[in-house]
Amino acid sequence: MKHLERSLQGKNSIGRYILMAVLVFFVAQMAAFPLLLMLLPVILSNGGNIGDFPAAMQNPSDYGISSNLFLLVMMGTFVIMFFLFAVLVKPLHGRTVRETINGRKKIRWDRIRMGIIVWGIIILTDTAISLLVSSPTEYEFRFNAAAFIPLLLIILIVLPFQTSIEELLFRGYLAQGVARWTKSRWWALIIPSVLFALMHIANPEVKEYGFWLSMPQYLIMGLMLGLISILDDGIELALGIHFINNGLTALLVTHKASAFQTDALFLYHDVDPVASLISISIASVLLIFILQRIYKWDFGIMNRKVLPELPPIPPIEAETVSNQ
């Protein structure tokens, strides 16, 4: 095992983690400023005031702003966060981005592809079933090539920065920190997963459908990604899963309370949050089962403490020879 154990080396005092969190999340909070500069003139010209900013954030098209432009500006913040983290992690902690991903010197690209393929198939299957069993009025097909093609380019080029920095921070960086402090893989799973869910507390789904129906979905997603990362000794699978999850969400189906207001292929008019909670629960269990069969994970690893790996004991013959 290398991923969580990597945090036992290098500079890893609590103060360094606090400094990284302050710097990165301060940049995240700065996201409101370019969006405000883009939205404020439109709001004021329509007779509104600064209090209309949250509504404009939720439905920029209602204020005459292209959803693709809005998404691009919003994603730009995550690009800055990604490169800021990549620059700071070496001087602050003495490890690289690759070592934050899996504790090794190389990234396992085949794992990223596998996460994309398996979770992508599950999402596409779930969406197809939902389309087949729903009434014709629930889904509105609205393909617009002029808007969809730029959206696809944003998803392919810019979205990976958003999903990657979230995985680096929660399943990589924070999980390593918690493992260092607690020596427990269970806490390295639970604490980042809870914080990951709380990070989404301001999302419009939470306001629309309520805390107790929306937040468990984020928590389940966080636990699933965290468990996979610990069992696989690295976050590559989670990187692929998170990217294809957000990418297909933006491209396939949107709804009035979605965090991604995009020109998706379908507009869903009647979201059932209970059904969504059940769906994500079943899909997560299915994903873990499939990946366990592929990679032969041992769930017993969860009970193993995070400790430095000792060098192998030399054979007796070698010791005897050296003593002579």
pLDDT tens figures, 191-227? 999 999 999 998 888 888 889 999 999 999 999 999 9
Q: How confident is the model at residue 135 (pLDDT cuts 50, 70, 90)?
A: confident
Asked if residue 321 belongs to a domain, the reply is no
pLDDT digits (tens, 9 = 90+) for 232-260: 999 999 999 999 999 999 999 998 888 88
Distances (CA, A) of 253 to 230, 235, 249, 256, 271: 31, 27, 6, 11, 11
Question: Is there a domain that residue 323 lies in?
Answer: no
Note the pTM of the prediction, 2 decimals: 0.90
Number of H helices, E strands in the chain: 15, 3
Provide the number of structural domains found in the chain: 1
Q: Is the CB of residue 233 less than 8 Å from the CB of residue 3? A: yes
Q: Is residue 315 in some structural domain?
A: no
User: Does some domain include residue 9?
Assistant: yes
Domain of residue 61 covers 4-310
Residues 6+ apart with CB under 8 A from 171: 192, 225, 226, 229, 235, 238
In a domain, 31, yes or no: yes
Highest mean pLDDT among 48-52, 93-97, 281-285: 281-285
Confidence band for 58, pLDDT divided at 50, 70 and 90: low
**pLDDT tier, 311 (very low <50, low <70, confident <90, very high otherwise):** low
Question: Is 316 a member of any domain?
Answer: no
- CA distance linking residue 175 with residue 135, whole number of Å: 43
Q: Is residue 273 part of a domain?
A: yes
Q: Are 267 and 250 within 8 A, CB to CB?
A: no
Mean pLDDT calculated for residue range 27-52: 67
Average pLDDT taken over every residue of the chain: 88
Please say if the pLDDT value at position 321 is more than 50: no
User: Which region among 27-36, 107-116, 262-271, 302-311 has the lowest average model confidence (pLDDT)?
Assistant: 27-36
pLDDT of residue 42: 66
